[in-house]
Amino acid sequence: MIRAALVYALKAPPGTYWNLDVRPLSATTVTGRAGRWSLRL
C-alpha cells in the first residue's frame, strides 16, 4: 500500500513500484514543495 501511494504521489513510472523498499511497520513521511520531494523512511 505504501509503495503504491509513493508511486502515485511522486508521479513516478509504474515500474518504480518494484524498486521501492519499505519495511513492515515503518513510518514513511513524504513532503513536497515547488517540484521537490523529500522521502523519509
Strand-pair partners of 30: 39
Q: What is the pLDDT of residue 5?
A: 85
Tell me the DSSP string of 1-41: -HHHHHHHHHT--GGGGGG----TT---EEEEETTEEEEE-
pLDDT of residue 11: 86
Residue matched to cell numbers 505504501? 2
Query: What is the Cα–Cα distance from 23 to 35, expressed in whole angstroms?
Result: 26
pLDDT of residue 18: 92
Domain range holding 32? 2-40
**Amino acid 14: pLDDT:** 93
Q: What is residue 10's three-state secondary structure?
A: helix
Q: Which of 11-15, 29-33, 36-40 has the lowest mean pLDDT?
A: 36-40
Overall number of domains in the chain: 1
For 16-39, what is the mean pLDDT?
82
